[in-house]
């Protein structure tokens, strides 16, 4: 059975001084599907990437207004900033009562790069627009990566774009000759000032050298074996 991670609830948000009452999919990390391209209010267009006031069932919260783009178009949501324990407990309670599984079915497990004691890819050197850029790797699967970048250099990147990159692991190993296709873009953008844009890109592997593929698969196998060995003592209790 799929784990319940969202709850469909009403939120109150304030955009450019105007109050909006919206329905969204809420998790302990933020809210999805607050707006889509068809119902995005004019007041929202100057708020991309900005912190906005909002409330959930009367509980005030700090949020960043974000845009995510995939093949179906763009959706707009909220990313919580230092959510209070009161807010998190209320959301967890609502998920327990009326929770929903994630609407995005994943064929492969997503592995976090925060487990630094296990082998993980930590840095991607991406060739784009005749330049080389360094992006952090947030998570990884057998089929692709989630990359993170702060700056405006990728502002014109489109879904479907193909890029070449190298990966560096936390053990100092380098995996070269990797081609990826962009499948998802999440942007925190202040389109008024252009300040410190932040982008996250979901990419899937298109091709990889034989040597790099062997190293990558070995890294995933060792990472999963490490996770399994950590869980084994807990299961025995």
- Domain positions in the chain are 4-101, 111-236
- What local confidence, expressed as pLDDT, does residue 169 receive? 94
- What lies within 8 Å, CB to CB, of 66 at 6+ separation is 30, 48, 49, 76, 77, 78, 79, 186, 187, 188
- What local confidence, expressed as pLDDT, does residue 108 receive? 58
- What local confidence, expressed as pLDDT, does residue 234 receive? 47
* Fold (CATH) for 4-101: Thrombin, subunit H (2.40.10)
121/168 Cα distance (integer angstroms)? 6
84/86 Cα distance (integer angstroms)? 5
Average pLDDT per consecutive 10 residues, the chain (237 residues; last block may be shorter)? 79 93 92 87 86 95 85 81 95 90 61 87 92 93 91 86 94 93 79 64 92 92 84 50
Architecture of the domain made up of 111-236: Beta Barrel (2.40)
6/182 Cα distance (integer angstroms)? 26
63/13 Cα distance (integer angstroms)? 9
- What local confidence, expressed as pLDDT, does residue 57 receive? 95
132/124 Cα distance (integer angstroms)? 10
- What local confidence, expressed as pLDDT, does residue 230 receive? 73
Residue 187 DSSP SS3: strand
- What local confidence, expressed as pLDDT, does residue 12 receive? 96
- What local confidence, expressed as pLDDT, does residue 215 receive? 93
CA nearest 40: which of 71, 9, 73? Answer: 73
CB 230 within 8 A of CB 174: no
Predicted TM-score (pTM) of this structure: 0.64
């Amino acid at each position: 059975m799929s784990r319940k991670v969202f709850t469909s609830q009403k939120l109150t948000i304030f955009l450019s001084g105007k109050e909006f009452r919206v329905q969204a999919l809420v998790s302990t990390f933020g809210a999805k599907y607050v707006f889509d391209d068809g119902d995005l209010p004019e007041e929202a267009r100057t708020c991309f990437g900005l912190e906005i006031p909002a409330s959930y069932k009367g509980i005030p919260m700090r949020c960043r207004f974000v845009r995510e783009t995939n093949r179906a178009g763009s959706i707009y949501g909220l990313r919580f900033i230092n959510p209070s324990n009161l807010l998190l407990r209320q959301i967890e309670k609502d998920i327990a009562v009326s929770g929903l599984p994630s609407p995005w079915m994943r064929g492969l497990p997503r592995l976090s790069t925060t487990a630094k004691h296990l082998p993980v890819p930590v840095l991607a050197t991406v060739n784009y627009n005749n330049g080389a850029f360094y992006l952090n790797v947030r998570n990884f699967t057998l089929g692709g990566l989630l990359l993170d970048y702060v700056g405006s250099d990728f502002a014109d990147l489109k879904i479907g774009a193909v890029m070449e990159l190298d990966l560096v692991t936390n053990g100092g190993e380098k995996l070269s000759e990797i081609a990826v296709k962009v499948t998802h873009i999440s942007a925190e953008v202040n389109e008024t000032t252009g300040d410190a844009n932040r982008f996250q890109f979901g990419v899937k592997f298109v091709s990889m050298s034989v040597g790099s593929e062997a190293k990558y698969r070995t890294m995933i196998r060792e990472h999963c074996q490490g996770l399994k060995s950590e869980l084994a003592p807990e299961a025995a209790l």
